[in-house]
Amino acid sequence: MTGAAVKARVEQVYREDSRRILATLIRLLGDFDLAEEALHEAFFVAVERWQRDGVPDNPRTWLVSTGRFKAIDVLRRRARFNASRPMLIAQLEELEQADWSDEDVEDDRLRLIFTCCHPALAADAQVPLTLREVCDLTTEEIARAFLSAPATIAQRIVRAKAKIRDAKIPYQVPTLTELPERLDSVLRVIYLVFNEGYSASVGNELTREYLTREAIRLGRILMELLPEPEVMGLLALMLLHESRRPARTSPNGELIVLDEQNRSLWDAELIAEGCALVERALTTRRFGPYCLQAAIAAVHAEAPTAGETDWPQIVGLYDVLLRAVPSPVIELNRAAALAKRDGPLAGLTLIEGILARGELQDYHLAHSARAEFYRQLGRVEEARAAYERALELTQQMPERRFIEGRLKALE
């Protein structure tokens, strides 16, 4: 392979497997920062060695081994400079003697998620830490997902890492008796990972398929561990959304809204699996927010055309969801459904009420929906102002081009 081809292969492995490798290194090393340093050292070495020796049959195993040996070298240097630290010597000896196999790697990310969502950590740090360490999202991307400041998110992540180290929080999947109380944070993490893949917060592409694929994989693993209704609901929700992926963008990457999608492109197998999970979860009568959201997605998926969508049923499901989880974002989604049932003025009235309370002021979808209702009502100047505000808040290029197209159409 040429040097360029090797570099491209290294970049591909980093993109697809770096977080699995990092999770294994964290388990082996017991230290987030040391594992991250070892990860980057391993990939740096790979660029040189793979050009000379060829790409190994199992790049992931090679990278874990290389990272582990690089970490051992770091610890040896530290031990030489500070031989009085018995804990450091013990850590080095344990690492040198540790056995591991590639079979362990598959579950390491799930172990890492549960570690990051440990109840000893602050609730507002669990999800950002997991998104950063498990999914390689930047601090800025996480901050946008949380509508928060990057500096705030960074501080939470640093404090959480220190807590894991100092409290010696175990790197393991909880027992079945501990699992339910830890489940809410884990489900939230997996869904945020999926959302970042399904609709990227920034960048030139609408979606990041590797993130949605990984979130669904983690959801399936969790289903095997704990087949509870909300786990079923989350997996169903992700599958039903993922089924629309082929129809969400044009061949040149432009955004296509739900009403205008070619439904023959939707993945029928994912829809069937998702709907079956929804039915299975709802029959337990112990369902929660994820099941309700999945039920809404199932109503969309089962409609042969946009015009045949059962909007009264969707509004009713949003009513139940809003009572279970009061949220301005859910209110916004309900407003969009209500507008389909009762007309744009009904939806606009609800959104104006949300914004008047000071909520969702910096959420571009609120202003975009508001602009769309103004446009449908023929209030062109108000629609233009709302679209311009949405454009100011949008950092994803396909969404920006979509809004720019709407603005141009107003002219």
Determine, yes or no, domain membership for 289: no
> Could you tell me which residues are beta bridge partners of residue 203?
396
The reply to whether 291 falls in a domain is no
96 & 113 share domain? no
Q: Judge if 147 and 204 occupy the same domain.
A: yes
- Is 193 found in the same domain as 111? yes
Shared domain for 117 and 197, answered yes or no, is yes
Domain match, 90 and 19 both: yes
In terms of domains, do 161 and 217 share one?
yes
Domains: count for the chain:
3
Tokens 């592409």 found at: 205
Instruction: Specify burial of residue 346 (Cβ count, 10 A radius: 0-12, 13-18, 19+).
Output: middle
Q: Identify the domain boundary among 77, 100, 123.
A: 100
Residue 322 lies in a domain: no
Asked if the model's pLDDT at residue 253 lies above 90, the reply is no
pLDDT single digits (tens) 65-104: 899 888 888 877 776 666 545 555 555 555 555 555 555 5
Q: Is residue 33 part of a domain?
A: yes
112 and 194 assigned to the same domain? yes
pLDDT of residue 317: 97
Q: In the prediction, which pLDDT does 101 show?
A: 55
Residue 246 lies in a domain: no
Same domain, 94 and 140: no
Confirm whether 159 is domain-assigned: yes
User: Domain range for residue 391?
Assistant: 327-411
Q: What is the pLDDT of residue 83?
A: 56
| Cβ neighbours around 142 below 10 Å, total | 25
Residue 334 included in any domain:
yes
Triad 30, 149, 190: Cα angle to 5°: 50
- Look at residues 78, 100, 122 and tell me which one is the last residue of a structural domain: 100
Q: At 213, list the tokens.
A: 């694929």
Predicted local distance difference test score (pLDDT) of residue 330: 96
CATH number at residue 353: 1.25.40.10
Lowest mean pLDDT among 129-143, 192-206, 224-238, 329-343: 192-206
Together in a domain, 354 and 409: yes
Last residue of a domain, one of 68, 100, 132: 100
Statement to judge: residues 155 and 57 lie in one domain: no
- Please tell me whether residues 113 and 217 are part of one structural domain: yes
CA distance 232 to 277: 6
Q: Are 89 and 129 found together in one domain? A: no
Asked, for residue 128, whether it belongs to a domain, the answer is: yes
128-178 pLDDT, tens digit per residue, is 898 888 878 888 888 876 668 899 999 999 999 999 988 888 888 787 778
Indicate the pLDDT class of residue 28, thresholds 50, 70 and 90: confident
Q: What is the 3-state secondary structure (H, E, C) of 187-227?
A: HHHHHHHHHHHHCCCEECCCCCHHHHHHHHHHHHHHHHHCC
Mean pLDDT on 288-295: 96
Question: How does 219-234 read in b/e, with b if 16+ C-beta sit within 10 Å?
Answer: bebbeebbebbbbbbb
Name the pTM for this structure.
0.75
